[in-house]
Chains A and B, each alone.
Chain A
Amino acid sequence: MTVLQQVELTVNGVSYEREVDPRMTLVDFLRHELRLTGTHVGCEHGVCGACTIIKDGQAVRSCLMLAAQADGTSLQTVEGLRNAESGELHPIQQAFIEEHGLQCGFCTPGFLMSTLELLGDNPNPTDQEIKDALDGNLCRCTGYQAIIQSVRLAAAKTQSGKLAGAHGSA
């Protein structure tokens, strides 16, 4: 009989405590235990990036971790992007809509989360830096050009948002 594993973690600011089968992957935990189905599963072995989430500030593939390994971590998934109070979409989401950075949308949660890490580290990336940050995410629809344009626009939006914020608080 498998011994269940105690897991305590935070997802999008909400604390959870669960007992899991040690062999449950983190992405299955998010989708099936927490019912956060925004994170997608594509290849389930680390190749496509659809399952990308943020763990303690860094983008990781949630299919390549056990839920048990996430004990004590703070996670962010695509559900955590939109503003919880106003319901407003995140500037990255807004940019992907405006620049048509998606078609079927299957890969999109992964691209959004990889972009979130990129713009957190580097608010004004060059095209090469955008490509480097996204080379682990596959998209079978868009041909990538619109995605790169979306990230460019997202950078501009977050930059101007920050400037406006700084201005307002000054």
Chain B
Amino acid sequence: MLLSVHIELWGFPMKPAPFDYYAPETVDEAVSLLKKLEDDDIDAKILAGGQSLMPMLSLRMARPDALVDLGKIKTLDYIREENGVIHIGAMTTKRAAEDSALLQQKQPLLHVATQHIGHRQIRNQGTVGGSFAHADPAAEYGAVAQALGMEMVVVGPDGERVIPVDEFYLSFLTTDIDCSEVLTEVRAPVMPGGTGWGFQEICRREGDLAIAGVAVTLKMEAGSCVDVVIAVFGVNAIAARLDDAEQVVNGNTPGEALFAQAGKAAAAALDEPITDVHATAEYRRSLIATLVKRCLTEAVSRAA
């Protein structure tokens, strides 16, 4: 008896704590299931690509009673353009987004940000929806969503809701998606012609989560920068636009001194940045000053 227990432990190691596993085949099925689990007071988690959830399960930082795997739902894998808006299905892999010519041509900022997420092996399995839903402070998509004014579509027991980015991210790893809702789609406007954009991040090893990063869009009108948008990620619980820094640049002639001043304004405008094993708050502030400057230069060089 004892021996068999021993063999079982050695033969079949289990890292995650036990959970019930469901693999619904439609969004409606997933939603009814989530609703039922919620009503029964069962702590359920959605599983998409697993690239953030699996480490949390294996380290037992998350111990849900039930997992609802969306992998068998085949209708959430698409990238298409409709009336100037790009629609991306939540279960589209980041690799598919990276390989999408449509995204590369029509929304290059979102495309380049995707290439910066993790390693190829992570992008092959991780989904676009999963990255939005996970809401890691260091996720590239947070800043891109703020910069582009993206919208998230969720489906729940009461039907569909479209959530603007300002209302989507609530806090560290927390979004407005309810327990019984599924994120089905994210939407980004096609990049308007002539827009210049910049994207920069700093991490220890390429593919790791960023210590700090910046996304910028702007236009040039009669030699001046207009419609300047500056968003930062990796420094606070949620990515944010920095109005103060945007105002420094808006309406002015591009130049090194102006961009350095904008960098300083950005660093000063940050709420107390995160301090962790990777970097101190002060280091993050100084990275933001530098990255804002670089992004603005990059954006102006791309603007028509």
> A residues bordering B, Cβ < 8 Å?
2-3, 5, 21-25, 28, 32-33, 44-46, 49, 52, 55, 58-61, 63-66, 68-69, 71, 114, 117, 131-133, 135-136
Is B51 in contact with chain A by the CB < 8 A criterion? yes
Is B73 in contact with chain A by the CB < 8 A criterion? no
Is B118 in contact with chain A by the CB < 8 A criterion? yes
- Which residue from B21, B57, B124 sits with its C-beta under 8 Å from A58? B124
User: Could you tell me if A2 and B120 are in contact, using CB atoms closer than 8 angstroms?
Assistant: no
User: Could you tell me if B12 and A136 are in contact, using CB atoms closer than 8 angstroms?
Assistant: no
User: Could you tell me if B121 and A22 are in contact, using CB atoms closer than 8 angstroms?
Assistant: no
> B residues bordering A, Cβ < 8 Å?
11-21, 23, 47, 50-51, 54-55, 57-59, 67, 69, 71, 95, 118-122, 124-125, 205-207
List chain B residues, Cβ under 8 A from A52: 121
**How long is the Cα–Cα vector from A66 to B67 in the complex, in angstroms?**
11
List chain B residues, Cβ under 8 A from A22: 19-21, 67
**How long is the Cα–Cα vector from A132 to B124 in the complex, in angstroms?**
14
List chain B residues, Cβ under 8 A from A133: 120
Known: A44-B58, A46-B122, A68-B23. A21 touches B71 (CB 8 A): no
- Shortest C-beta distance, A69 to chain B (Å), equals 6
Known pairs A45-B59, A132-B206; list 19 more (Cβ under 8 Å). A2-B20, A22-B67, A25-B15, A25-B58, A28-B13, A33-B12, A45-B58, A46-B122, A55-B124, A59-B121, A61-B125, A63-B58, A65-B125, A66-B50, A68-B21, A68-B69, A132-B120, A135-B206, A136-B118
**How long is the Cα–Cα vector from A32 to B11 in the complex, in angstroms?**
6
Most chain B CB inside 10 Å of its own CB: which residue of A5, A22, A52, A59 = A22
- Shortest C-beta distance, A47 to chain B (Å), equals 8
- Which residue from A3, A21, A46 sits with its C-beta under 8 Å from B14? A21
List chain B residues, Cβ under 8 A from A2: 18, 20
- Shortest C-beta distance, A88 to chain B (Å), equals 27
**How long is the Cα–Cα vector from A68 to B125 in the complex, in angstroms?**
14
